[in-house]
Amino acid sequence: MYQKICNALSIVASVASISVIGAGTFGYFWITNESNQNKIKQQIVEQVTGSLPIPKLSGPAIPTGAAPKGLGLPKF
């Protein structure tokens, strides 16, 4: 009985090790592929440019607000 348990655990450990090695190899080749790198770069650029507050071409670069209400320049 003990021999069967040890054999089963050995098979499970071997399958787990092979899975980890296979996933690592697949991940390495997927990341180093030129077309996949371009896809990742494009997605990153889209996310970064979407989160930046870029002013429109017709609007001011610095937001302008109403004149402050308080003491202004004296009128003569």
Structure tokens at 67: 């004149």
Mean pLDDT of all residues in 2-15 = 96
Query: pLDDT per residue over 46-55, tens digit each?
Result: 888 877 776 6
* Backbone phi, psi, residue 68, to 5°: -65, 140
Look up residue 69 and give its DSSP letter.
-
Q: Which residues have a Cβ under 8 Å from the Cβ of 48 and sit 6 or more positions away?
A: none
The domain segmentation of the chain, as residue ranges, is 2-49
Spatial separation of the C-alpha atoms in residues 60 and 16, rounded to whole Å: 59
Q: Quote the pLDDT of residue 48.
A: 86
Q: Quote the pLDDT of residue 19.
A: 98
pLDDT interval class at 3 (50, 70, 90): very high
Query: pLDDT per residue over 9-68, tens digit each?
Result: 999 999 999 999 999 999 999 999 999 999 999 999 988 887 777 666 666 666 666 666
